[in-house]
Amino acid sequence: MPLIRANGADLYYEELGSGHEVVFSSQQAFDRDPDAYQALLAGPLGRCRVFCVTARGFPPSGRVWEDLGPRWYPTWADDVYVVARALGFVRFVYTGVSHGAVIGWHLATQHPGALKALVSVVGAPHDRAGGTARSEGRQSLARAADDAATRRARVEQVFARPRTEAQRVRRDALVDRALARSAAGTDPDGWSARIGKAFPSLATNEALEEALASIMVPTLILGGAQDPLCKPEDNLRAARAVAGARMVLWEDAGHMLAWERPRAVIGAVRQFLDDVHAASGAATPSVRGGGPTQILAPGDS
């Protein structure tokens, strides 16, 4: 099992693909399906070499014995940075989904020189309303843990509303998949419900925007227009703050965008990375890029 002892913890990673574009991604647990985001990114559509780092505190990475409080995301960002350097990579593309994307936003502020580009999937920093110590979405799922019907209803809410019977059938199958994954025991210590928002020390949206404005990394922001957690307003706030950022929203997707529109997401990421590379005029992937905001209708895949 590939473990690296780094930053005071045992960190598990997997390598996918063999493309020239080196990409790191981190989250609490990775989806093992062949159409999972990181797997597709490493496949023929994405053409990347992807290193998946399981966040500390979640198996098979080492457990955490005390609540890190406001230091969860900064610590995870440092972990990715240290693992990348331990594997011999000084600069790389980072991408993540949901809380995994939040790790990337912290990387971009803590270790900006390490990033060639940042791709955030349904993970722009949230509005400061309600405080930053806890995530309401995480706590809502945790409260429903012992009631199957309530938990299913909560999971359904993070998907886009189906408009046709075919969409409902597909949504229900994805909900089943999400529930099976959540039952797999990836959070033995219950840390997930205790983890708050990105940049917890920033109490106002104005302070958050100022921090995001310091990011000079080429940034792609992907989201679902029906996402109740990482709302379109959160994505737009980040897109306005980061110079040259590109934002794409899918009208028919929610927080599970990477499951709802997997190939469209990979296409957007690949196009962005190609554009970043072309803008640099270099033989290796570029460190500069940007582009327009887009809202895609269901047929625009």
Can you give the pTM of this predicted structure?
0.90
pLDDT in tens, 156-206: 999 999 999 999 999 999 999 999 888 777 888 888 888 999 999 999 999
C-alpha span between 214 and 60 (Å, rounded): 34
pLDDT, residue 9, reads 94
Please determine, looking at this structure, whether the domain spanning 3-296 carries the CATH number 3.10.150.10.
no
C-alpha span between 274 and 264 (Å, rounded): 15
Question: What is the side-by-side strand order in the sheet with 9-16?
Answer: 3-6, 9-16, 48-54, 21-27, 92-97, 115-121, 219-224, 246-250, 293-296
Q: Per-residue pLDDT averaged across 283-296, rounded?
A: 38
**18 pLDDT higher than 90:** yes
Q: Which helix (H) or strand (E) holds 86?
A: helix 72-86
C-alpha span between 269 and 122 (Å, rounded): 13
Flag the least confident range among 118-122, 284-288, 292-296: 284-288
pLDDT, residue 126, reads 97
Closest of 191, 257, 185 to residue 220, by C-alpha: 257
pLDDT, residue 144, reads 57
**In sequence order, what are the beta bridge partners of 96?**
120
**38 pLDDT higher than 50:** yes
In sequence order, which residues have a C-beta less than 8 Å from that of residue 240 and are 6 or more positions away?
209
**Residue position matching structure tokens 């925007």:** 209
More confident residue, 139 or 277: 277
67-70-76 Cα angle (round to 5): 80
C-alpha span between 67 and 50 (Å, rounded): 29
Joined tokens for residue 157: 């809410």
Q: Per-residue pLDDT averaged across 253-282, rounded?
A: 95
**288 pLDDT higher than 50:** no
Q: How confident is the model at residue 147 (pLDDT cuts 50, 70, 90)?
A: confident
C-alpha span between 97 and 88 (Å, rounded): 24
More confident residue, 72 or 131: 72
**289 pLDDT higher than 50:** no
Q: Per-residue pLDDT averaged across 272-294, rounded?
A: 62
pLDDT, residue 75, reads 97
pLDDT, residue 188, reads 84
Are 265 and 258 contacting, i.e. CB atoms less than 8 angstroms apart? yes
Are 218 and 118 contacting, i.e. CB atoms less than 8 angstroms apart? yes
pLDDT, residue 292, reads 39
pLDDT, residue 257, reads 98
What are the sequence ranges of the domains in the chain? Answer: 3-296
pLDDT, residue 286, reads 32
Q: Which long-range contacts (CB under 8 A, 24 or more apart) does 181-187 make?
A: 181/29, 181/31, 182/141, 182/151, 182/155, 184/29, 186/28, 186/29, 186/58, 186/59, 187/28, 187/29, 187/58
pLDDT, residue 287, reads 32
User: What share of the chain has pLDDT > 90, as a percent?
Assistant: 79
pLDDT, residue 216, reads 97
| 3-state DSSP assignment of residue 190 | coil
Flag the least confident range among 6-20, 109-123, 243-257, 278-292: 278-292
Antiparallel, parallel or unpaired: β 9-16 and 92-97? unpaired
pLDDT, residue 142, reads 58
Are 123 and 230 contacting, i.e. CB atoms less than 8 angstroms apart? yes
User: What share of the chain has pLDDT > 70, as a percent?
Assistant: 89
Q: What is the CA radius of gyration of the chain?
A: 18
